């Protein structure tokens, strides 16, 4: 039945994205043509990738090819299987929507201080690198593709490098990416030490002692976690995402973090294979901490894109909670529940890719129209940008995990997996899993609070600064990308059974067991464990909501002309006209929660009362404890050590030659 | 088929009886405080009056403001349709389980607080900010309490949980005691009662729910008020059916159903009386004391869950 040339199309997708990097450079003089060509090629690469990934997943197909490039004893292995196919679909689909969005978005950069050719070049390399990571089936090509992805995205973050803060953000990102890459390299090194080749099949077959397996796991956990942005390795995210162009932020947050998750899942489930429950506990706890801290830090931000970046930390935490549960159940032999938790985590990957890209694209439209990063200066945009506002609302509901949209389904599945905790019959795990699910519940509630703030302050109310009144609706390409993503958020929310049965194939491949076959109850009902245990029918709920809405509307709608709605000025308590300054600000909105969780941030608050005719001043600075008390000291220490080390830098050629000579001697002594 | 009809009729009953529940509590409270007080059916008159009045919408309001009352009300009605009230034999309970129910309450709150921020006055934002703070702390406690009950019944399906407690022998599990206490505290906070919020207040320093809906009038206000009364009734039904489920009909046979209707109504009225007494003897808390209250609820619920897993799973 293998009539679909899946792997060929997948390679074509990679080729097309590299072509989208190179070919447009022919038109450096005609920037409009350049941008069009680049995004056309990128969009077709995205469609090809989405098709290849989707077909692989749906037909449960696996295919491998060995390319005779590279060193003679080090061939490049490319392989596509359902797990890679699933992530291929995510990357391809989001790339496609950003390609719809890009041309109109880049219009403002044309003629700007930086050539757009740089941007399209590195975007092509970035997407091609991500796709290659997913296809790579040996450690060597995986690492090359991984570093290509990291370095290309560094140049994208540093694109607007005339601002010092952008340069420093990009530098931190590069630093973390390099360190993370080194950890991943070491992790593969451990596996390669036990097998005779770098290919994944050989690595998976190699027997590992428990100690070395744990070392490899820890290295991979740190390495992939650095890219995924788990606490405490998250600090690059809130710095890099706000400064990158918005469609790049969508790709980085929506897709690149998922590639890191892919790497982690591939490494742990198929390369190491034998999982210990202690690893699962570590993943679960780190996931819970990332989720809660991510959303709490997000709540305190009023730069829109930085806020969204912290929400990526939160959602990665939710994915890691699912993975941790899955690993615990896997290690204790409860394969069906492990499959359920893994499906929940992977489904959340897909959902997060959809709604986070949607939110970043919406944020890009808002930023382009208002030229404001600061939420405190926005307001009332729903009247000026109705389509963007509606799509953004869908994104907000989805990310807050509210029914009937997609974010809810994956959290529901995660809860269902956590509720199976009592089968473990172990005191420690029995206490940890409830605490983790409590953290997940807290995260969900705080995310709702945060997105009420975001939406209320940006789109509702009155405009808080004059530029806002000049905002117009985004252009057609930008709107269509958002509408596609918003519709997907709804579709994956009300037809979850299809997605779950597709992802189930991955679980069957990785764990050997999928969900119980007799648990399913038709396409309408999501019943992951059993019909009596838990069920969720999203479509009937949506229909019920619509029916009761229509009924109420029918009963209450005024038939008489004189009972129409009257539009009148809002009541301003008799103090003169309503001004935008009377509204709650974003900081004021989050103030009660800031007070409740005050010990989790480093808060500096200053109030100067009004005196001598000067108005009162209030300043508030909320910083990340980890940044101040972990990363800055490390940075200082390294600078200090580097200064010490610079003593050996004499500047004299003979001295350097002597260094080389003695190093050579030393190495010869070590080896021979 | 009959069970579907029964589910719809039961939902309608709850929706129509909800104003009486609110009126009953108010009437009892007035009597306890030596006041004359409106009759228990006064809310019906209020709703009728409001729905006839012309609705005034602020000129700064967006479509979210106008859609919110309909969304809030229909989500509350759908929530009412999945909760077993008089009998557990209802096919609609399979539509959604306790987690979805918590999701519904969050959805209601999401749109209410957006509507509060929409007009651009200070009160709305204040109400929304307080509401999301309170519920961000209450929701985890609520979910933990539900999880303990669900783990006891090894199902998150509401009908299955209620019938599990209704049919099993009465044993005072420690987990149930803790989670019931947590759940009652959360219910007080989520329905906007004293000591967290005061449904009778219009003082700017104290109001939460009323501040969010301050800009509403006419039929929009009627819908929001009705949804709030319905929410109070739903939480009361959850309390009586989870904690003291005796008498709830297991089928929809006429005799069992009659017992179910009588016992549940009686229990609801008694619960309303307790609420009135509690609101009479207690004062409202300062806003920044509320986190302590909800933290207690959270700890109780978590204790319930842990004691279930550690002590009761064999």
DSSP state of A269: I
Q: Which A residues in the span 442-481 are in contact with B, Cβ-Cβ below 8 Å?
A: 442, 444-446, 448-449, 451-453, 455-457, 459-462
Residue A536's φ and ψ, nearest 5 degrees, are: -145, 120
Q: Is residue A519 over pLDDT 70?
A: no
Cα of first residue to Cα of last residue in chain B, in angstroms, is 39
Q: Closest approach of chain B CAs to the CA of A537, in angstroms?
A: 5
Instruction: Return the pLDDT at A560.
Output: 57
C-alpha–C-alpha distance, residues A532 and B125, integer Å: 43
Range of the domain at A653: 625-671
C-alpha–C-alpha distance, residues A448 and B103, integer Å: 10
H or E segment at A76? strand A76-80
Instruction: Return the pLDDT at B122.
Output: 85
Residues A586-592: what's their mean pLDDT?
Answer: 90
C-alpha–C-alpha distance, residues A199 and A202, integer Å: 5
Residues A612-617: what's their mean pLDDT?
Answer: 85
Q: Which B residues in the span 119-178 are in contact with A, Cβ-Cβ below 8 Å?
A: 119-122, 124-126, 128-130, 132-133, 135-140, 143-144, 147, 150-151, 154-157, 160
Q: Which of A411, A547, A524, A520 is nearest to B100 (CA)?
A: A411
pTM confidence score? 0.94
Residue of A nearest to B156 (CA): A534
Q: Which A residues in the span 320-379 are in contact with B, Cβ-Cβ below 8 Å?
A: 379
C-alpha–C-alpha distance, residues B291 and B211, integer Å: 20
Q: Return all residues near A403 (Cβ < 8 A) that are at least 6 apart.
A: A493, A538, A541, B96, B100, B103, B104, B107
Domain count, chain B: 1
pLDDT, tens digit, 9 for 90 and up, residues A629-660: 888 999 999 999 999 988 888 788 888 999 99
DSSP state of A4: S
C-alpha–C-alpha distance, residues A534 and B99, integer Å: 10
Residue A642 CB neighbour total at 10 angstroms: 9
The residue among A418 and A71 whose pLDDT is bigger is A418
C-alpha–C-alpha distance, residues A296 and A476, integer Å: 35
C-alpha–C-alpha distance, residues B102 and A640, integer Å: 53
Structure tokens at A396: 């907000």
B8 interfaces chain A, CB cutoff of 8 Å: no
pLDDT, tens digit, 9 for 90 and up, residues A319-378: 999 999 999 999 988 898 999 999 999 999 999 999 999 999 999 999 999 888 888 889
B269 interfaces chain A, CB cutoff of 8 Å: no
pLDDT, tens digit, 9 for 90 and up, residues B55-95: 899 988 999 999 999 999 999 999 999 999 988 888 888 88
Residues A279-285: what's their mean pLDDT?
Answer: 94
pLDDT, tens digit, 9 for 90 and up, residues B92-143: 888 888 999 999 999 999 999 999 999 888 888 999 999 999 999 999 999 9
pLDDT, tens digit, 9 for 90 and up, residues B235-281: 999 999 988 888 888 888 888 888 889 999 999 999 999 999 999 99
Residue A630 counted as domain residue: yes
Residues of A in Cβ contact (< 8 Å) with B63: 382
Per-residue confidence band for A31, with pLDDT thresholds at 50, 70 and 90: confident
Of B100, B107, B119, the CB nearest to A536: B100
Q: Is residue A485 over pLDDT 80?
A: yes
Instruction: Return the pLDDT at A633.
Output: 92
pLDDT, tens digit, 9 for 90 and up, residues B146-162: 998 888 888 888 888 88
Q: Return all residues near A468 (Cβ < 8 A) that are at least 6 apart.
A: A370, A372, A377, A378, A379, A380, A381, A384
State how far the alpha carbon of A299 is from the alpha carbons of A303, A450, A454, A597, B129, in Å.
11, 5, 9, 11, 12
Structure tokens at A372: 């404001």
Residue A69 CB neighbour total at 10 angstroms: 9
Instruction: Return the pLDDT at A518.
Output: 62
pLDDT, tens digit, 9 for 90 and up, residues A392-445: 999 999 999 998 899 999 999 999 999 888 888 777 787 888 889 889 999 999
State how far the alpha carbon of A24 is from the alpha carbons of A10, A39, A57, A156, B279, in Å.
22, 9, 33, 17, 72
CA torsion sign for B172, B173, B178, B179 is negative
C-alpha–C-alpha distance, residues B104 and B122, integer Å: 27
| Portion of chain B with pLDDT greater than 90, in percent | 52
Range of the domain at B200: 2-312
Residue A669 CB neighbour total at 10 angstroms: 8
pLDDT, tens digit, 9 for 90 and up, residues B8-29: 999 999 999 999 999 999 999 9
Residues A68-90: what's their mean pLDDT?
Answer: 87
Of B94, B133, B309, the CB nearest to A434: B309
Instruction: Return the pLDDT at A520.
Output: 67
Residues of B in Cβ contact (< 8 Å) with A582: 120-122
Residue B284 CB neighbour total at 10 angstroms: 17
Domain count, chain A: 1
Q: Are B136 and A595 in contact (CB under 8 A)?
A: no
Residue of A nearest to B227 (CA): A552
Q: Closest approach of chain B CAs to the CA of A354, in angstroms?
A: 20
CB contact under 8 A, A582 and B121: yes
Rounded to 10 deg, the angle between the A476-494 and A335-370 helix axes is 160
Residues B295-314: what's their mean pLDDT?
Answer: 86
Chain A interface disruption, residue of B138, B309, B310, most A CBs within 10 A = B309
Residue of B nearest to A409 (CA): B100
Q: Are B222 and B50 in contact (CB under 8 A)?
A: yes
Instruction: Tabulate helix, strand, coil % of chain B (nearest 5).
Output: 75, 0, 25
State how far the alpha carbon of A647 is from the alpha carbons of A361, A642, A643, in Å.
49, 9, 7
Residue A101 CB neighbour total at 10 angstroms: 29
Residue A26 CB neighbour total at 10 angstroms: 12
Instruction: Return the pLDDT at A101.
Output: 93
Cis peptide before A4 (omega within 30 of 0): no
Q: Closest approach of chain A CAs to the CA of B34, in angstroms?
A: 33
A285 interfaces chain B, CB cutoff of 8 Å: no
Q: Mean pLDDT for chain A?
A: 90
Instruction: Return the pLDDT at B194.
Output: 84
pLDDT, tens digit, 9 for 90 and up, residues B191-224: 888 888 887 777 767 788 888 988 899 889 999 9
Q: Is residue B30 over pLDDT 80?
A: yes
Residues of A in Cβ contact (< 8 Å) with B160: 532-533
Q: Is residue A1 over pLDDT 70?
A: no
Instruction: Return the pLDDT at B250.
Output: 84
Structure tokens at B27: 């009437």
Residue A76's φ and ψ, nearest 5 degrees, are: -95, 120
Instruction: Return the pLDDT at A637.
Output: 94
C-alpha–C-alpha distance, residues B114 and B128, integer Å: 7
Residue of A nearest to B53 (CA): A563
Residue of A nearest to B290 (CA): A596
Residue A646 counted as domain residue: yes
Q: Closest approach of chain B CAs to the CA of A591, in angstroms?
A: 8
Q: Closest approach of chain B CAs to the CA of A94, in angstroms?
A: 27
């Amino acid at each position: 039945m293998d009539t679909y040339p899946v792997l060929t199309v997948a390679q074509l997708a990679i080729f097309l994205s590299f072509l989208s990097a190179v070919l447009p450079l022919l038109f450096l003089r005609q920037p409009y043509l350049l941008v069009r060509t680049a995004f056309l090629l990128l969009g077709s690469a995205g469609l090809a990738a989405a098709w290849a990934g989707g077909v692989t997943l749906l037909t449960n197909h696996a295919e491998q090819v060995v390319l005779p490039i590279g060193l003679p004893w080090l061939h490049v292995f490319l392989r596509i299987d359902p797990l890679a196919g699933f992530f291929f679909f995510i990357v391809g689909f989001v790339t496609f929507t950003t390609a719809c969005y890009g041309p109109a978005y880049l219009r403002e950069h044309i003629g700007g201080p930086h050539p757009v050719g740089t941007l399209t070049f590195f975007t092509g390399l970035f997407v091609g690198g991500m796709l290659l990571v997913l296809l790579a089936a040996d450690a060597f090509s995986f690492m090359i593709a991984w570093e290509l992805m990291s370095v290309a995205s560094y140049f994208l973050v540093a694109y607007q490098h005339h601002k010092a803060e952008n340069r420093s953000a990009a530098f931190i990102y590069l630093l973390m990416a390099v360190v993370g890459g080194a950890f991943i390299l070491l992790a593969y090194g451990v596996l390669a030490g036990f097998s005779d080749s770098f290919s994944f099949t050989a690595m998976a077959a190699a027997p590992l002692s428990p100690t070395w397996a744990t070392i490899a796991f820890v290295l991979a956990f740190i390495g992939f976690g650095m890219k995924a942005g788990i606490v405490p390795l998250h600090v690059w995210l809130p710095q890099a995402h706000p400064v990158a162009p918005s469609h790049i932020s969508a790709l980085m947050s929506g897709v690149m973090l998922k590639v890191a998750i892919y790497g982690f899942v591939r490494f742990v489930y198929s390369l190491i294979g034998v999982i210990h429950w202690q690893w699962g506990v570590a993943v679960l706890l780190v996931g819970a901490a990332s989720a809660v801290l991510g959303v709490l830090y997000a709540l305190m931000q009023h730069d829109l894109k930085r806020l969204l970046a912290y929400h990526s930390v939160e959602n990665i935490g939710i994915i890691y909670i699912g993975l941790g549960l899955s690993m615990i159940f896997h290690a204790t032999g409860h394969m069906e529940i492990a499959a359920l938790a893994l499906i929940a985590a992977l489904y959340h990957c897909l959902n997060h890719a959809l709604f986070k890209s949607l939110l970043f694209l919406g944020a890009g439209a808002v930023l382009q129209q208002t030229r404001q990063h600061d939420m405190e200066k926005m307001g009332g945009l729903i009247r000026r940008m109705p389509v963007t506002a509606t799509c953004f609302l869908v994104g907000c509901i989805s990310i807050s995990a509210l029914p009937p949209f997609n974010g809810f389904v994956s959290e529901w599945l995660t809860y269902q997996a956590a509720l199976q905790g009592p089968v473990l019959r172990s005191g420690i795990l029995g206490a940890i899993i409830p605490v983790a699910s409590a953290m997940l519940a807290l995260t969900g509630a705080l995310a709702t609070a945060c997105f009420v703030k975001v939406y209320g302050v940006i789109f509702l109310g009155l405009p808080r600064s004059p530029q806002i009144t000049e905002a117009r609706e985004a252009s057609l390409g930008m709107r269509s990308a958002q509408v596609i993503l918003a519709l997907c958020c709804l579709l994956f929310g009300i037809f979850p059974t299809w997605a779950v049965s597709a992802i189930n194939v991955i679980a069957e491949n990785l764990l050997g067991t999928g969900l119980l076959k007799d648990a399913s109850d038709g396409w309408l009902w999501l019943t992951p464990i059993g019909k009596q245990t838990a069920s969720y029918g999203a479509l009937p709920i949506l229909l019920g909501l619509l029916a009761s809405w229509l009924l109420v509307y029918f009963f209450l709608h005024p038939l008489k002309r004189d009972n129409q709605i009257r539009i009148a000025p809002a009541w301003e308590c008799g103090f003169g006209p309503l001004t935008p300054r009377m509204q709650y600000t974003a900081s004021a909105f989050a103030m009660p929660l800031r007070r409740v969780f005050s010990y989790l941030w480093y808060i500096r608050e200053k109030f100067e009362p009004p005196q001598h005719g000067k108005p009162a001043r209030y300043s508030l600075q909320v910083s990340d404890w980890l940044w101040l008390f972990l990363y800055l000291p490390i940075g200082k220490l390294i600078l200090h050590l580097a200064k010490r080390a610079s003593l050996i830098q004499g500047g004299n050629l003979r001295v350097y030659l002597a260094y080389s000579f003695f190093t050579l001697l030393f190495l010869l002594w070590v080896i021979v | 088929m009959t069970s579907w009809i029964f589910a719809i009729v039961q939902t309608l009953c709850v929706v129509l009886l909800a104003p009486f529940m609110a009126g009953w509590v108010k009437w009892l409270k007035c009597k306890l405080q030596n006041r004359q007080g409106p009759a228990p059916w006064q809310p019906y008159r209020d709703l009728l009056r409001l729905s006839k009045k012309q609705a005034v919408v602020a000129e700064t309001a967006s479509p979210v403001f106008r859609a919110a009352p309909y969304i809030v009300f229909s989500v509350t009605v759908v929530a009412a349709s999945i909760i077993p009230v008089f009998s557990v034999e209802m096919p609609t309970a399979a539509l959604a389980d306790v987690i979805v129910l918590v999701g519904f309450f969050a959805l209601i709150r999401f749109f209410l607080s957006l509507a509060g921020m929409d007009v651009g006055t200070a009160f709305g934002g204040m109400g929304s900010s307080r509401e999301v703070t309170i519920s961000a702390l209450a929701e985890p406690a609520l979910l933990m309490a539900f999880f303990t009950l669900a783990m006891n019944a090894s199902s998150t399906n509401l009908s299955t949980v209620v019938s599990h407690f209704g049919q099993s022998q009465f044993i005072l599990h420690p987990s149930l005691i803790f989670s019931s206490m947590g759940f009652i505290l959360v219910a007080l906070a989520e329905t906007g009662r004293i000591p967290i919020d005061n449904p009778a207040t219009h003082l700017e320093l104290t109001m939460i729910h009323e501040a969010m809906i301050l800009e509403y009038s006419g039929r929009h206000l009627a819908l929001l008020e009705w949804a709030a009364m319905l929410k109070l009734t739903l939480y009361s039904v959850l309390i009586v059916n989870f904690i003291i489920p005796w008498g709830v009909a297991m089928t929809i046979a006429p005799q069992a159903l009659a017992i179910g209707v009588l016992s549940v109504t009686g229990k609801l009225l008694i619960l309303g009386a307790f609420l009135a007494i509690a609101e009479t003897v207690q004062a409202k808390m300062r806003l920044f004391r509320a986190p302590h209250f909800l933290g207690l609820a959270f700890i109780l619920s978590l204790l319930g869950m842990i004691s279930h897993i550690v002590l009761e799973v064999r």
